[in-house]
Amino acid sequence: MMRFEGKTALVTGGSRGIGRAICLELAKGGASVVFCWAGNGAAAQETARAVEALGAKVLAVRCDVADAEQVDALVKAALEGFGRIDILVNNAGITRDNLLMRMSEADFDAVIAANLKGAFLCMKAVSRLMLKQRYGRIVNLGSVVGLRGNAGQVNYAASKAGIVGMTKSLAKELASRGVTVNAVAPGFIETGMTAVLPDSARAAALGSIPMNRLGAPEEVARAAAFLASDEAAYITGQVLAVDGGMAM
């Protein structure tokens, strides 16, 4: 029996990069996958086809996770499609990088809304369901930046540090009902976000990674899948860094 057979997973920001890899990893384990996307419909369709090719059921829903009504609609669609939600992976996120002195209030607010408020809204929407089921796995995507900071990313670092605090707090609220809440903190991963880095920034990043390479989305996905599995049933409130040793 595959480890996610009979379970439904909801993945935010699942159309590209790490989110897409997580959708595929959960599908390989037998989960039915619901994922949301915000701006790239073609990428969402391609990810849905890839999930189906693995023999898993899939539902792709357009959703701005910073909007409570849209999040409620997303959860409703998942329940109408599959009847339950066993796993939530909060992956949706954006960047609006700049030095603090040049950062606009709008860019600060946008990152906090998408990365932090979005995770809050999704966790709030599924927590009651998981408590009733007396079962659930919540995995939040943090970042090495939230653990050690990074110049030019005050907004992003704040949002990801906030993810750590929310993860630990909610873990204490839900633990007695068999619901675990953990986080994965990726380092520099080969995604669309890192592909646009200038060569100098890329070289500096590599210099700070003991393993001397960027990670792959699939490596983050496997860590998230472990925390979403029954193998991690006695792990909650933890942050697992997948960063090649960067945050040591």
pLDDT in tens, the chain (248 residues): 689 999 999 999 999 999 999 999 999 999 999 999 998 999 999 999 999 999 999 999 999 999 999 999 999 999 999 999 999 999 999 999 999 999 999 999 999 999 999 999 999 999 999 999 999 999 999 999 999 999 999 999 999 999 999 999 999 999 999 999 999 999 999 987 677 777 887 888 889 999 999 999 999 999 999 999 999 999 999 999 999 999 98
- What local confidence, expressed as pLDDT, does residue 1 receive? 62
Active site residues: 156
Q: How far apart are CA 7 and CA 209, in angstroms?
A: 36
- The answer to whether 224 touches 186, Cβ cutoff 8 Å, is no
Identify residue 185 by its one-letter amino acid code.
Answer: A
- What local confidence, expressed as pLDDT, does residue 199 receive? 83
CB-facing half-sphere around the CA of 160: CA atoms within 13 A: 27
- What local confidence, expressed as pLDDT, does residue 200 receive? 80
Q: Domain 8-242 in CATH: superfamily?
A: NAD(P)-binding Rossmann-like Domain (3.40.50.720)
3-state helix, strand, coil in the chain (%, to 5): 50, 15, 30
Q: Comparing C-alpha atoms, which of 7, 180, 173 is closest to residue 84?
A: 7
In the numeric block, the tokens 């439904």 are attached to: 8
Encode 18-53: b = buried (16+ Cβ within 10 Å), e = exposed.
Answer: bbbbbbbbbbbbbbbbbbbbbeeeebbeebbeebee
CB atoms within 10 A of CB 113: 17
Per-position DSSP letters for 206-228, written without gaps between them:
HHT-TT-S-B-HHHHHHHHHHHH
- The answer to whether 247 touches 160, Cβ cutoff 8 Å, is no
Q: How far apart are CA 156 and CA 142, in angstroms?
A: 10
- The answer to whether 181 touches 161, Cβ cutoff 8 Å, is no
pTM of the model: 0.96
CB-facing half-sphere around the CA of 22: CA atoms within 13 A: 33
In the sheet with 32-37, reading across from the earlier edge strand, the strands are 58-62, 32-37, 8-11, 87-90, 136-141, 179-186, 239-242
- The answer to whether 235 touches 179, Cβ cutoff 8 Å, is no
* Residue 241 to residues 47, 65, 71, 72, 100, Cα–Cα distance (Å): 26, 24, 27, 30, 26
